[in-house]
Structure 1
Amino acid sequence: MGSGGSLCLVTGATGYVGGRLVPRLLAGGHRVRCLVRTPEKLRDVPWRDQVEVVRGDLLDEEAVRAACEGADVLYFLVHSLQQKGFGDLDRRAADIAGRAAQQAGVSRIVYLGGVHPPGQLSEHLRSRAEVGEQLLRSGVPTAVLQAAVIIGSGSASFEMLRYLTEHLPVMVTPRWVTNRVQPIAVRDVLHYLVAAADLPPEVNRSFDIGGPDVLTYADMMRTYAAVAGLKRRLMMPVRVLSPKLSSLWIGIVTPVPRSIGAPLIESLIHEAVCAEHDIDDHLPRPEGGLTRFADAVALALGKIQHGEVETRWSDASPVDAPWDPLPSDPGWSGGTVYRDERERLTTASPAAVWRVVERIGGRNGWYSFPLLWAVRGWIDRLLGGVGLRRGRRDPERLRTGDALDWWRVEDLEEGRFLRLRAEMKVPGRAWLELSVAPAGQGTRYRQCAVFIPRGLLGHLYWWAVAPFHGLVFGGMARRIVSAATGRGGTRSRVVRFRGRAAPG
């Protein structure tokens, strides 16, 4: 099987690694088919028109079998980390994928798992190991690439490292910061993933992959500080910080939610060092050699500073997140749809207003009452939600599927319309719609917050926060058009609160 024209089926193409792998497979001369639950999330990626996209869930055996037809290589890059019982879900998905690949005559499976030591493993590492073993038994030649900490702009591991080091010059640290880790740059992971497509059929095994440096986590934080130009960090290890307490602390200090941070922290209680380097006997190393840890940090920081982050850990949304047209008659809401609608006319051009709309969130802020947004973000974090720290992938441009603080870009029509779906903890479902349209010699800006309550608690929640909407949503509309004009010249018509019973 040569590299010229092999058809690669990529699962997890909307995730951190999968979203970076696809364009590199294309650059290597492969054809690519993406199996995704939500094809809309790939609508705005730059390589969308170069791939075949099929809708399907890895737990749907019929859909997976159909997607495998005609494929030469299957990339298994999914992990249900944010869901309860993720181990069982991943084992089921691996079983279905392995059978479908074998029946369809797929020549190679490539799976990205985790480096793990012998002995008792955390639930996260045990799940990754079991999936790898299951795929190796599928009857299809399989390469299981096992990486420890992946360092790259937007990776969950890098974001944890970055926020801990930047925000805590003095750290009370748990014992696991002295465990050894062999991190690897995401560019090197991608190199091995692409090259693994051409392994000979007799190769059916796992390979540990890691960078050239073996460090403790404390060393990684000190090196990050040096590369970022920060003062040396002081660390005081203590024995009382269990992995569970550490994950709570990670959830407060970093943008990584506890649902992801906890399994990652549990994995760090083990040393994550490559036990072998047999991959070198089968595949060439990246051109110029493996990337040193300090260089990987510098590359990642450069991508962030120049707004060139391809994908982020937050690109993958929860499986049960609604991704449908805005529902108008949900039975469980009692037929009620609450709306807060704002409209403003401005002398600014539609393009000028849209530039402000598309830059909203992250470090650019929400053009509203900052304290109320901050308080709501902290409450969400305490409830186990994502809070406001996820920020943006790119400071200027959005695309469908992007995470934007506690929102997700659900629909985007360039220059005209933006719909955000809330992923904070609320008793119901919430959206925020922002639209821009020409109006005479200026622009009509419309803003609509929509909330569909779930049960009595949902109704009580809406009316509890309604008194603050003037500050939050009213201030947002006013400041967005003000930022677009850079001066006065606005007039407004506002519908403050309206509860509407959906026709029944």
Structure 2
Amino acid sequence: MGERKLVLVTGATGYIGGRLVPRLLAEGYRVRVLARAPSKLQAVPWRDAVDVAAGDLADPQTAARACEGVDTLFYLVHSMGSGADFETRELEMAGTVADAAARSGVRRIVYLGGLHPDNVPLSRHMRSRTAVGRVLLEGVVPAVVFQAGVVIGSGSASFEMIRHLTENLPVMPAPSWVRRRIEPIAIRDVLHYLVRAPELPPGLNRAFDIGSREVLTYADLLYGYAHEAKLAPRRIYSLPVPAPRLAGWWVALTTPIPHAMAVPLVESLQHDAVSAEHDIDGYVPPPPGGLTGYLKAVELALGRIRSGDVETSWTNASGRPPSDPLPSDPDWAGRTVYVDERLRDSTVGPEYVWQVIEGIGGENGWYSWPAAWVIRGVLDKLVGGAGHNRGRRHGGRLGVGEAVDWWRVEHIGNGPGGKVLRLRAEMKVPGDAWLELSALPHGTGTTYRQRAVYFPRGLAGKAYWWLVLPFHGLIFPSMARNILRHAAGLEHASAGVEAAGMPGP
């Protein structure tokens, strides 16, 4: 690429921008990001690899400083859900940025807008995004406007609406917009086009439609999600009325998506969102292996497509795919997760607590209400699960992949702050469950941490969690207490052995 070009990414704390930055860095670009709240970037792994500028794009001086020395400006901001006058603010901000880019000699502006039909009344959100694209195209600096439909990836507002509607509503009376034709696009394909944008011919100034080339109805998107998420078949009944605002309120009530965002999202579904042309193919070839189909995009968003034979767990990992949540994603993004966490400090040494943890299950049991564990195991057997009588291969040590009653060892050994055992449930439950036990050194003693983590699957999964929660309140406190008590006994016995002149365990 020759001299490393400087690119400016606005909206780096947002869904698209947060995933674009590391890919631009990987391509060899120098990256500057402009953020009103740089503190939101503290947790992202690429923070120290970029130049962070603080400020508001609506301020001409801030915009001008941010554009200094920039080759390509990625304009990835919008004000959906930020007040009644967001259309005016968006147009003014786009004009300010276009002027600053022209004065600073920026070579190209890249903008991500939305797919929409021509010559129809658009929602305020879509109308605003279209108007912003027009402002940039009419400016002095050549602009490339990518127009995309529903973006499929964990954390995308459009995908989260699909996720939560499908998981929460097995029967869905829906407005007429569920019959609208939609051309979705995977987040990885959006990023493919954005990363290639600086390489487009100089002076190119136009809009491009981008999508998966797979046209579905919105109901098809919901059905497809249910299939990939392994939910029971959904029933969707289209009503003969659009009711966009009422539907927006309904989405806000039945999903974690804020009302201020749900209403404009639903209003934007009143018309088809399908590519009218595929001219981008003449400039940017499709990704290696072709564009991503909808079902595969959902698999990626759910973490169902993985590298190698190791199943990805709920913990964060390095090398995350672009469909994974980022620290800067909104709180409502991603799957619903329930956590029961217990922390207890003890004067017992961490090596003795860990000895008990590694020996859990099988003949040693689970240190609380043995009858309750047996009954739960019997019930699991009756519905075709692993049950409670698989035991464990070794009494005192474990390895990754080994069975422990109805659990499977997913991780054992060093973790954040100490030793960690993470078990993945293989019992029959409407969701995915883990149990994590940790021995964390604390002064001369130990902090024992115990976490039950559960990803429900649909309404049945959520009902299951609330049904068993009272039993957690009985079993888990005594489990933590008894593990530490047993560890104290081991430490006491070891001290007695050493006092007698014999080596400890």
TM-score band, normalised by shorter chain: 0.5 to 0.7
2:282 corresponds to: 281
Q: Does 1:120 align with 2:124?
A: no
User: For residue 54 of structure 1, what is the amino acid of its counterpart?
Assistant: A
1:143 corresponds to: 144
1:188 corresponds to: 189
Q: Is the 8 A contact 2:155 2:329 kept in 1?
A: no
Q: Deviation of residue 228 (structure 1)? A: 2.0
1:107 corresponds to: 107
Q: Is the 8 A contact 2:41 2:328 kept in 1?
A: no
Q: Is the 8 A contact 2:153 2:324 kept in 1?
A: no
In the superposition, relative to structure 1, how do residues 437 and 135 fare at CA in structure 2: closer, same or farther (>3 Å)? farther
Q: Deviation of residue 287 (structure 1)? A: 1.0
CA deviation map 1:6-27 (0-9, x unaligned):
1110001111100000011111
Q: Is the 8 A contact 1:155 1:312 kept in 2?
A: no
1:59 corresponds to: 58
Aligned residue for 1:70, secondary structure, equals coil
Distance 1:481 1:37 in 2: 47
Distance 1:444 1:235 in 2: 47
2:90 corresponds to: 90
1:264 corresponds to: 265
What is the TM-score of this pair, normalised by structure 1? 0.64
Distance 2:160 2:107 in 1: 36
In the superposition, relative to structure 1, how do residues 255 and 348 fare at CA in structure 2: closer, same or farther (>3 Å)? farther
In the alignment, structure 1 segments of 5+ residues that lack a partner are 318-342, 353-413, 416-435, 446-475, 490-504
Q: Deviation of residue 55 (structure 1)? A: 0.8
Distance 2:112 2:255 in 1: 25
Q: Is the 8 A contact 2:301 2:324 kept in 1?
A: no
1:230 corresponds to: 231
Distance 1:237 1:313 in 2: 37
CA deviation map 1:44-98 (0-9, x unaligned):
2111121111111111211111010001000000111121022112112111111
In the superposition, relative to structure 1, how do residues 306 and 276 fare at CA in structure 2: closer, same or farther (>3 Å)? farther
Distance 1:485 1:199 in 2: 65
In the superposition, relative to structure 1, how do residues 213 and 482 fare at CA in structure 2: closer, same or farther (>3 Å)? same
Q: CA RMSD in A?
A: 3.3
Q: Is the 8 A contact 1:212 1:291 kept in 2?
A: no
Q: Is the 8 A contact 1:348 1:443 kept in 2?
A: no
User: For residue 196 of structure 1, what is the amino acid of its counterpart?
Assistant: A
Q: Does 1:6 align with 2:5?
A: yes
What is the TM-score of this pair, normalised by structure 2? 0.64
Q: Is the 8 A contact 1:144 1:205 kept in 2?
A: yes
User: For residue 215 of structure 2, what is the amino acid of its counterpart?
Assistant: V
Q: Is the 8 A contact 1:3 1:30 kept in 2?
A: no
Q: Deviation of residue 239 (structure 1)? A: 2.7
CA deviation map 1:296-341 (0-9, x unaligned):
1111111696445544697269xxxxxxxxxxxxxxxxxxxxxxxx
1:73 corresponds to: 72
2:135 corresponds to: 134
Aligned residue for 2:284, secondary structure, equals coil
In the superposition, relative to structure 1, how do residues 349 and 288 fare at CA in structure 2: closer, same or farther (>3 Å)? farther
Q: Deviation of residue 484 (structure 1)? A: 9.9
Q: Is the 8 A contact 1:109 1:143 kept in 2?
A: yes
Q: Percent identity?
A: 50
Q: Is the 8 A contact 1:35 1:56 kept in 2?
A: yes
User: For residue 329 of structure 2, what is the amino acid of its counterpart?
Assistant: D
Distance 1:486 1:58 in 2: 55
Q: Deviation of residue 212 (structure 1)? A: 2.1
CA deviation map 1:400-429 (0-9, x unaligned):
xxxxxxxxxxxxxx97xxxxxxxxxxxxxx
In the superposition, relative to structure 1, how do residues 348 and 8 fare at CA in structure 2: closer, same or farther (>3 Å)? farther
Q: Deviation of residue 231 (structure 1)? A: 2.5
Q: Deviation of residue 112 (structure 1)? A: 0.5
2:26 corresponds to: 27
In the superposition, relative to structure 1, how do residues 18 and 209 fare at CA in structure 2: closer, same or farther (>3 Å)? same
Q: Deviation of residue 254 (structure 1)? A: 1.4
Distance 2:240 2:253 in 1: 20
In the superposition, relative to structure 1, how do residues 481 and 100 fare at CA in structure 2: closer, same or farther (>3 Å)? farther
1:335 corresponds to: none
In the superposition, relative to structure 1, how do residues 122 and 437 fare at CA in structure 2: closer, same or farther (>3 Å)? farther
Q: Give 1 or 2 for the bigger CA radius of gyration.
A: 2
Higher relative contact order structure (alpha carbons within 8 Å, sequence separation ≥ 6): 1
Distance 1:94 1:75 in 2: 12
User: For residue 254 of structure 2, what is the amino acid of its counterpart?
Assistant: V
Distance 1:151 1:11 in 2: 21
In the superposition, relative to structure 1, how do residues 231 and 444 fare at CA in structure 2: closer, same or farther (>3 Å)? closer
Aligned residue for 1:250, secondary structure, equals helix
Distance 1:184 1:303 in 2: 18
Q: How many corresponding residue pairs?
A: 355
Deviates more, 1:70-79 or 1:112-121: 112-121
User: For residue 249 of structure 2, what is the amino acid of its counterpart?
Assistant: L
CA deviation map 1:441-500 (0-9, x unaligned):
35699xxxxxxxxxxxxxxxxxxxxxxxxxxxxxx9xx99996995479xxxxxxxxxxx
User: For residue 155 of structure 1, what is the amino acid of its counterpart?
Assistant: S
